[in-house]
Each structure stands twice: as structure tokens, then as C-alpha cells.
Structure 1
């Protein structure tokens, strides 16, 4: 879909794993939880998960939950005027700007 892959692959699988299983626990136990994501360039994981759960399309209806919407999402990733490669204000649910764990931990307390 996209000729060049951007982002730090080492961070993305771990964030996906935690996000998916944390959502499972939240639903099973009806918990109120705030997921703090801090690794640099972890944006692909957060954007992908919010698209999969439907939150992304609620905020950005032009990026629908379809093959066409997924293609649009991929093409705007890490592209000028598109979605940054780190967690940013444009990421649904984000409460901080930046890709460093230290910044994220400040918001955790």
C-alpha cells in the first residue's frame, strides 16, 4: 500500500500487544484505564489500534472503516500535512505531544 515503511518497528509490536490485551481486560472487568504510550515513534501502533476499534473514524470520518479508508490512512502517515510518526495531538485519546517516555510519565501521575 505504501512504498516506504516509516517508524520504529521495534516499538510497534509491543505497543500493539499491550493495547489489545489491555482493552480485553478493560472490557472483561469494566475498568477505567488510561494507557500511557511513551516510546518514540510509537504512533503507528496507536493510530492503527484506534482505527481498528473505530475511534479514528469517529474523529476523522473521511478515513472510514473500509479498504479505501485504510488506504487513505496509510498514505497520509508520516507525510507532510498527514499523521506524524509519533503520538501527537492528532492521535485519538492522546494527552501529550512527543515520542519520549519521560514526557509520557509526567502525564501518568
Structure 2
């Protein structure tokens, strides 16, 4: 995987995690679904085409974080499902999640 791909994926994954955690405090839900279009990938990485090997690399990146990502050729987009109960979090994200869960519990007990 090229550096621009890894940088794009790290940024996208971080955004998905932060968005999911923010929503936990209000809904208590732990599973969220996001989408990344081929156009967004190309614009974010400077790629002209998404070869099958690149799509596989992207899916493996998410799998390595215990996140489901499936590419739909019909819609030219990845569907990314983040389950906060299972995904890999950085220490700051784990702390943020614990705080969001405490907030939800305090507001709903």
C-alpha cells in the first residue's frame, strides 16, 4: 500500500471512530455504517483508477482494525461498518469512548 493510501485510510478511519463515539453519548448505539466512494478515494489519494489489488488492500486495512468494509462495484463505494465493541482503538479513543458511555448512562438512568 502506498503512503497516500495509508494516510487517507488513517484519516478516514479516525473520522469514523470519532463520529461514532460522539454519537454514543446521545444514542448509546455502538454500531455505525459509513461510506467511502471511489471518487473520494481517488481525490484523497491522487489515484486515477482503483485496481482490485488496491480495493483488497483497503479491505485488509479495515479488517486489521476489526472493522467490516465491503466494496460494491455497482455503487463504486465501500460500505464501512464500525462496531465500537470490537474495533481497534487508540488509547485516546478508548478514553473518549469510556467518557461517552458514562455520559449516555448518566443521561439515561
The structure where strand makes up a greater share of residues is 2
Higher helix share: 2
Same fold (TM over 0.5): no
Tell me the TM-score normalized by structure 2: 0.37
TM normalised by structure 1 equals 0.37
